[in-house]
Amino acid sequence: MDYKLTYDQYQQGLERGELPGLKCNTCNNVTFPPMARCRECNGTDLEITEIAGEGTIRTFTVIRIAPEGMTAPYVVAMAEIDEGAWVMGNLVDLNPDDADMNLIGKRVTLGSHVVKGDTYSKGDSRVITFSLI
Q: Any idea where the domains of the chain sit in the sequence?
A: 1-51, 52-133
* CATH fold label, 52-133: OB fold (Dihydrolipoamide Acetyltransferase, E2P) (2.40.50)
Give mean pLDDT, residues 12-25.
97
Give mean pLDDT, residues 1-20.
92
Segment 32-51, tens digit of pLDDT: 999 999 999 999 999 999 99
**Half-sphere exposure at residue 87, Cβ-oriented, CA atoms within 13 angstroms:** 33
DSSP letter at 92 equals -
Q: Are 127 and 76 in contact (CB under 8 A)?
A: no
Q: What is the pTM of this model?
A: 0.91
